[in-house]
Amino acid sequence: MSKVQLPDGSVLEAAERATVRDIAEQIGPGLAKAAIAGRLNGESVDLSTQITDDANLEIITSKDDEGLDILRHSCAHIMAEAICSLWPEAKLVYGPAVRDGFYYDLDLDEPIRPEDFQRIEQKMSEIIAADTPFERVEMSRTEALEKMAGDRYKSDNIQRADGETISFYSHGANGFQDLCKGPHVPSTGRIDRKAFKVMSVAGAYWHGDASQKMLQRVYGTAWRNKKELNEHLRLLEEAKKRDHRLLGRQMDLFSFHDEGPGFAFLHAKGMIIWNEIIDFWRSVHRKYDYEEVKTPIILNEELWHRSGHWDNYKENMYFTMVDGINYAIKPMNCPGGLLIYKSTRHSYREFPIRMAELGLVHRYEPSGQMHGLVRVRQFTQDDAHIFCTPEQIESEIVGVIDLVMELYKAFGFDDYHIELSTKPEKRIGSDEIWEVATQALANALEQKGIDYQLNPGDGAFYGPKIDFHIEDCLKRSWQLGTIQLDFSMPERFGLVYSDKDNTEKTPVMIHRAILGSLERFMGILIEHYGGNMPLWLAPEQMRVLAISEKTSDYAVDVCKRLKNAGLRCGVDVSGEKIGAKIAKTHSDKVPYMLVVGPKESESDTVSARWRGRRETTSVGVEQFIAIAHAKIDDKSLELAFE
């Protein structure tokens, strides 16, 4: 007889050889029916697991996130069986649950094609309909290795598994079995036949190692019921509409061409957004006491040998030759900044020197990496290099974090995560220096009370870094800002300053970018707003729409007055009907539509409606100008007035 404590604190007596399922039944038949697995002393287990001792137990249903994960993981097994029955030569590698679904990696020479998905789904449906139980078999590691001898993937998985007990799960009439630590749903029928879908297939390296064989990774999605699946599919469709690549074309902001893969062409409207971002960026940097510099794009190759880029970054660089001399196209701005520093003598009294640069860099990216504006081969970094004394490091980093927060907040980004990346394999500088630098970054984060994720081995080659990441509409994570501490570069370049005691010392250098790449930032921003840019960023802030050509003159006049007031105003005096003009303006995502007819013409007003709203508001022209200016100055996200 064991005592089982439930999450609410109550204690149940468990009968001899009682299973998790039995306890669920003791609690209530409804729960027993909904149960998927249990959490026994904090560990996830099958419903069939026996309770042998006093324990804490929680029943997991599909309502729990973990329950959903288990459901998806079981669905991955079902898909694996389906695929193996269609392609008996397929070797299974690894199939976990992931966000929104699951995948299974397979070694199979014949490519699985999207046309095959329906066949796979059909097979999965049959397996689910058969509703056979998932059965767990345990054995020792040695036995498991023997059992899987000849299967390099499963043998490898066994060797990597924790603990000495290795488990297999089987289900289905044909005895499909797979190495797995579980837990699983009690039987295949617990998956909703109408709530899963095979989504895509892609290549994936074994162990993520590019030198290993490429496997086929089949992605699927699975939900509690059909309604949730449909909602998920709908959200994917919605996300596609927010894709900056699509909006960039629709809104005429930028384009890409075969003549320059990975090099963005910014159109006139895109440049308006670009310049607004930069104007704001400059104003904030002035406030934080930064100076701005500009360094050349092409510099002698020798400089890059000195900086360590040649040894550590050559594969990502472009080179050129002029007058028989080798030059490199800069992939980073730091060496140029160092030369500026060196061009005059420096005293500790000047420190910290905060030298910002909107620097255009080129980095060679393998062709499969490019992605709209967020992954390009040429981009503008909102870079800065801070030269300071060791004592100033922490306060400078805190200052940069404050600046990051202020900039992100203005764009409405509250949802980002921070990573601290440490010493990589390819690096310059001593271990001791790395330790000090890494600690300084960690201290600053802790001082600000910021949660962060540790990324061992992911630092830049010259120092550890703090990165700021944000997600795009398809939930892909992108790095924006970065703060990198560097003790090595100043030494390599022989940077010095005169200290209080009149000795020469080497300054510390902090590299930082906040928006990261302006191209990427703009791409993320477009998705963030779904193309509906706030007034201060909108390429066309308002458009005057004439009811008919009879009021064209007034419309043109109003537009002119708004332009003279510094507003970005357009006018539509075409022969279209007013309904068509409104529809067009709306699809162009213009914040304000100002309709004018004879009535407005007489009273010097406009009939205003704003993006997303059908009602109109009559407002005087001068009054509207004042309202618009106020909203632009506030960087307001809200268009409504009245």
Contacts of 342-347 with CB under 8 Å at 24 or more apart are 342/493, 342/494, 342/495, 345/498, 346/387, 346/496, 346/497, 346/498, 346/507, 347/497, 347/498
Q: Which of 75, 84, 180, 334 is catalytic?
A: 334
Is residue 377 part of the contact set for RNA (CB under 7 A)? Answer: yes
Q: How far apart are CA 569 and CA 75, in angstroms?
A: 54
Residue 422 touches RNA, criterion: CB under 7 A: no
Query: Cα–Cα distance between 264 and 246 in angstroms, integer?
Result: 14
Q: In the complex with RNA, which residue's Cβ is closer, 144 or 374?
A: 374
Give the footprint of RNA on residues 570-589 (CB under 7 A). Answer: 575-580, 582-584, 586-587
Rounded least distance, CB 18 to RNA, Å: 42
The distance of closest approach from Cβ of residue 329 to RNA in the complex, given in angstroms and rounded to an integer, is 13
- Taken in order 488, 494, 497, 503, is the CA torsion positive or negative? positive
Distance in angstroms (rounded) separating the CA atoms of residues 26 and 450:
45
Q: Which parts of 469-508 interact with RNA (CB under 7 A)?
A: 474, 476, 478-482
CB-based burial of residue 125 (10 Å sphere; 0-12 exposed, 13-18 middle, 19+ buried)? middle
Report CA dihedral (140, 146, 150, 153) to the nearest 10 degrees.
0
**Does residue 385 have an active-site annotation?**
yes
Q: Is 468 helix (H, G, I), strand (E, B) or coil?
A: strand
For residue 587, give the amino acid letter: S
Can you give the three-state secondary structure of 237-272, one letter per residue?
HHHHHHCHHHHHHHCCCEECCCCCCCCCEECHHHHH
Told to judge if 334 belongs to the known catalytic residues of this protein, a careful annotator would answer: yes
* Number of residues near RNA (by CB under 7 A): 79
Site for RNA in 131-160 (CB under 7 A): none
| 258 versus 451: smaller Cβ distance to RNA | 258
Output the CA angle 184-181-74, nearest 5 degrees: 30
CB atoms within 10 A of CB 573: 18
Toward RNA, which CB reaches closer, 127 or 317? 317
Asked if 472 is an active-site residue, the reply is no
Residue 71 and residue 97: Cα distance in Å, rounded?
9
Say whether residue 365 binds RNA (CB under 7 A). Answer: yes
Q: Cα–Cα distance between 121 and 193 in angstroms, integer?
A: 9
One residue of 58, 178, 276, 467 binding RNA per CB under 7 A: 467
Query: Which of 40, 480 has the CB closer to RNA?
Result: 480
Alpha carbon distance 624, 263 (integer Å): 40
Q: Are 464 and 421 in contact (CB under 8 A)?
A: yes
Give the span between the Cα atoms of 369 and 352, in whole angstroms.
Answer: 37
**Options 154, 423, 609, 631; binder of RNA; rule CB under 7 A:** 609
Please choose, out of 322-330, 359-367, 531-539, 620-628, the segment that lies near RNA by the rule CB under 7 A.
Answer: 359-367
- Is 392 among the residues known to form the active site? no
Told to check if 620 binds RNA by CB under 7 A, we report no
The residue from 39, 73, 363, 568 that is catalytic is 363
> Which lies closer to RNA via its Cβ, residue 338 or residue 374?
374
Interface positions, 173-212, toward RNA (CB under 7 A): 200-205, 208-210
**Residue 465: active-site member:** yes
Out of 506, 616, 623, 636, the residue judged to bind RNA by CB under 7 A: 616
Applying CB under 7 A, which of residues 77, 136, 147, 363 lies at the interface with RNA?
Answer: 363
Can you tell me which of 513, 558, 567, 621 binds RNA, judged by CB under 7 A? Answer: 513
Q: Which of residues 86-125 bind RNA (CB under 7 A)?
A: 111, 113-114
Range 258-297, binding RNA (CB under 7 A):
258, 261-262
Q: Evaluate whether 168 touches 184 at the Cβ level (below 8 Å).
A: no
| 227 versus 550: smaller Cβ distance to RNA | 550
Closer residue to RNA in complex, CB, 72/363: 363
Shortest distance, position 527 Cβ to RNA, whole Å:
12
Catalytic annotation, residues: 334, 363, 381, 383, 385, 465, 511
